[in-house]
Amino acid sequence: MLTALETPVIAPTFRQASLFSDQLCSYQPCSYQLFPHWLPVAAARPGMSASWWQWVASTDSLTTRLTVAGGAKAFRVHLLRQTIGLPRRDEALALGIEPRRYAWLREVALCLDDTPWVVARSVAPLSQLQGKGLEGLGERSLGSWLFRQPDLVRGPLYATRHQPRFVAEQCASLLGSVWGRRSVFQHSGLSLLVQEYFLSSMADDLGLPSR
Ligand SMILES: C=C(O[C@@H]1C=C(C(=O)O)C=C[C@H]1O)C(=O)O
């Protein structure tokens, strides 16, 4: 049932709201040829520091990496939105589906001690979700679930320097994104587009360069 998949919008309650800035760029859609703001990650490398490359080009679980990098800080998935809706045009293209096909949309902030380090938006065609149990994921990490799937295949990574508009729709103000990346995961008939934006709060906390 569609209603079972719906989760109401949860207003962000980040303790460090003062860290946010309201300098959002307008959303720039993507996907290499048609949406050139997303570059194959290797093509973005010349503009990226070696430290950020370690994060942006990594293909293992980001949840695990963040938890390790956070040290004593508590890792938490803060659910911003989980609902059924239409994907953006570039998202549909990345998934190889018609833009008018309904999709499962999930937007989260990945926080360390309540400071958002990464915001993410994941999109999967509704027709492929049956039996996967994702509707009950809540504030558990999608990555923890994904990387437990033995047949998981990750598609190529794309990177962007543009800001995520989806969080602008959720938050009045937002920390700037340093780098964004995305890739499509395949598992048992499911294609899942995961888009992750690394925030400047993460750069500050880990002493990473501005790019
Ligand atoms: C894809 C991963 O999962 C993370 C968890 C997410 C979620 O819970 O919605 C979203 C994006 C990720 O950064 C990962 O850990 O690599």
At 33-64, the pLDDT tens digits run 566 689 999 999 999 999 999 999 999 999 99
Residue nearest to atom 6 of ligand 1 (CA): 142
Nearest to 184 by CA among 68, 67, 111, 97: 97
What are the angstrom distances between the C-alpha of 63 and each of 18, 29, 42, 58, 72?
A: 25, 25, 22, 12, 15
> Is there a binding annotation on residue 129?
no
Indicate if ipTM > 0.95. Answer: no
Q: Which atom of ligand 1 is nearest to the CA of 137?
A: 8
Query: What spacing in Å lies between the alpha carbon of 198 and ligand 1's midpoint?
Result: 12
Residue 2 pLDDT greater than 90, yes or no? no
Which residues does ligand 1 sit against, CB inside 6 Å? 61-63, 77, 106, 108, 110, 118, 120, 122, 141-143, 146, 194, 196
**pLDDT band for position 9 (50/70/90)?**
very low
Residue pLDDT, tens place only, 109-152: 999 998 999 999 999 999 998 888 888 899 999 999 999 999 99
Q: Which atom of ligand 1 is nearest to the CA of 60?
A: 16
Q: Which atom of ligand 1 is nearest to the CA of 77?
A: 8
d(CA 34, CA 102): 22
Q: Are 115 and 76 in contact (CB under 8 A)?
A: no
Cα torsion 173, 175, 178, 183: sign: negative
**pLDDT band for position 77 (50/70/90)?**
very high
> Is there a binding annotation on residue 106?
yes
Give all domains of the chain, ordered by start, each with its CATH number.
2-12+21-206 (3.40.1410.10)
Query: What spacing in Å lies between the alpha carbon of 195 and ligand 1's midpoint?
Result: 9
- More confident: 173 or 164: 164
Highest-confidence segment of 19-28, 31-40, 177-186:
177-186
Q: What are phi and psi of 107, to 5 degrees?
A: -125, 130
Mutation choice for ligand 1 from 58, 66, 142, 145, CB with most ligand atoms inside 8 A: 142
**pLDDT band for position 22 (50/70/90)?**
very low
Nearest to 202 by CA among 117, 83, 84, 133: 117
Residue 77, class by beta-carbon neighbours within 10 Å (0-12 exposed, 13-18 middle, 19+ buried)?
Answer: buried
Query: What spacing in Å lies between the alpha carbon of 35 and ligand 1's midpoint?
Result: 23
